[in-house]
Amino acid sequence: MKSLKETMKGFDLEEIRKRANSLSSTSKTEPAQDKQYRCSKCKDDEFIIVRKEDGTEFAIPCECRNEKAAERLLKSSKITPEFQSKGFKNFRREGRPKAVLDAFQAAWNYVQDLDDRNTPNKSIALLGRPGCGKTHLLMAISNNLLAKGTQVLYFPFVEGFNEIKANLDSLEQRIYQLQQAQVLYIDDLFKGRKEITDFVIEQTFAIINYRYLEKKPILISSEKTIAELCQIDEAIGSRINEMCWDYLVILKGGIELNYRLRSKEG
C-alpha cells in the first residue's frame, strides 16, 4: 500500500488548497455586499472616535444616539402605534363639558411640572365616566415624557393581568418590572364585569404599595372613583388618593361626558 506521501506525489498541494478554499467559502466566488448602516457617521455604534493632535483617541456620542435611545424607550413602553399618536394638540376640547376640560388642564399642568431630569414629581389619576378621554390624556402625558427621554411603561389592566395569569412562571419578574419602571401607566384600573379576585387585588397592592413607598410616579385611569376603589381595597384606594392628590380629577356626570356617543354632526 502506498503511503500518503507517495499517493500525493505529483500533485500541486498549493493548488489543492486553493481549490478547497474556493469550495468552502462563497467569498471567493460571490463578493460580499457592503453592510448597510442607519448612521454612516458612527456605523450604528452610537459613538464616534476622535483623535487629538497628540495621537490620543476618545469617543464622543454620535448625533443618532438620542434618536435611537428614544426609539428604545418607545419600544419598551408597550405603547401601540395607534396610541403613539395621542397628544394634547389632537385632543378635542370644543364643546366638551367642564369636567373634561378640567382633566385636560390637569394633564397639561402635569407635563409642565417636571423636575430637572424631566421626571414627574408626583402621580396623576383621571377617574370616572368612560369615553371622557382619560386614556387619550394620559397617553399624551406618556408620549411627552418619552420624547424627553423619560421611561414610561404602559400596563393595560385587563389585558396585562390576563397575560400574567396565562404565564404564572413570569409573575415575579413581571411584578418587579411594574414596580421598578421609572413611570408606570396603569390604564383602566379594576376594569371588568367579573368579580375582582384576591389574586388581582394582592398583586395590584404589591405594585401600588412599592411605588408609594419608593415615591415612584404612576399615571392611572379608571372608571372607579376613589370611594369605589376603597370599596375594592381601602389600602390601594387610599394610597392612590394620596399619591395623586395634586393631580386627581374625578369626572362626574351623565352620558353626555362620553365623547364616543357624540352625534354624527358633532
CA distance 130 to 118: 30
**Interior/surface letters 215-242, b for 16+ CB within 10 angstroms, e for the rest:** ebbbbbbbbbbbeebbeebeebbebbee
CA angle centred on 145, ends 143 and 149, rounded to 5°: 115
> Could you tell me which residues are beta bridge partners of residue 126?
221, 249
CA distance 83 to 141: 11
Predicted model pTM: 0.70
Residue (of 52, 131, 139, 34) closest to 89 by Cα position: 139
Instruction: Write out the DSSP string of 129-153.
Output: STTSSHHHHHHHHHHHHHHTT--EE
Encode the chain (266 residues) as per-residue pLDDT tens digits. Answer: 444 444 444 444 455 445 545 544 444 445 545 677 777 777 777 677 787 777 787 777 766 555 555 555 545 455 656 667 788 999 988 888 888 999 999 999 999 998 888 889 899 999 998 888 999 999 999 999 988 888 899 899 998 898 889 888 889 999 999 999 999 999 999 997 678 999 999 999 999 999 999 999 999 999 999 999 999 999 999 999 999 999 999 998 766 666 666 655 44
- Domain 78-261 maps to which CATH number in 3.50.50.60, 1.10.1060.10, 3.65.10.10, 3.40.50.300? 3.40.50.300
CA distance 122 to 246: 8
Domain ranges for the chain, please list them. 36-69, 78-261
